[in-house]
Amino acid sequence: LLCRVEDVGGRFALTFDDGPSLNTTPRLLDVLAHHGARATFFLLGPNVRRAPELVRRVAAEGHELALHGNLHWPLALSPPWMIRSEIQKCARAVHDVTGVQARFFRPPFGFMMPGQSAFVRHLGYESVLGDIYPEDPRRPGTTRIVSRVMQRLRAGSILILHDGSPTGERDRSQTVDALDVILQKASHQGLAAVTVAHLLDAAPAP
């Protein structure tokens, strides 16, 4: 499981889960563009089908498309055939809309067994978690989200935020506001937000 990347300087991976959201994702894209930042979006299949033009915009603006499954069902409760179906349905939705073959998968609820990770790798995808999760869907307040992130953010981190939801549109305004502050503070610390792929590419060869 990929949680962070060691020995990379001046960058961290910025990721978003459960999108895209017709309300939130365009606002996040505007913030990212303002700061010249890049991110990886772990998408849900039904939300991709609901907003194909938005998914194409995410890709066109230089961000990475990744998979978060189809029904947001916990992997711990899923047999192999269901895991395969969840990933393939999401991958097909992304490919049908953009032509992109996704590389990364993030398990719903951020948990999977070692054997499930190996199974996902056998299917051709790398499983990604993260090392910073400020619990932004709980809406603890913009200031608290920023504080939780900046206390732990360092080179090689993988930050988990949320732009969408598996149960319809949700208020993610605190995440949008926090992102603007996080990117400002990270820049002052010499850290740039990049995609997961770019973070891995920056790592020294094993």
The active-site residue out of 18, 72, 162, 163 is 162
The active-site residue out of 17, 131, 136, 180 is 17
- Please say if 95 is a catalytic residue: no
Residue 17 burial by CB count (10 A; 0-12/13-18/19+): exposed, middle or buried?
Answer: buried
Phi, psi angle pair for 109, to nearest 5°: 65, 5
Contact 197, 11 (CB under 8 A): no
Cβ neighbours, 10 Å, residue 29: 20
- Please say if 18 is a catalytic residue: no
Contact 68, 108 (CB under 8 A): yes
Rounded Cα distance, 202 and 70, in Å: 30
Catalytic site positions: 17, 162
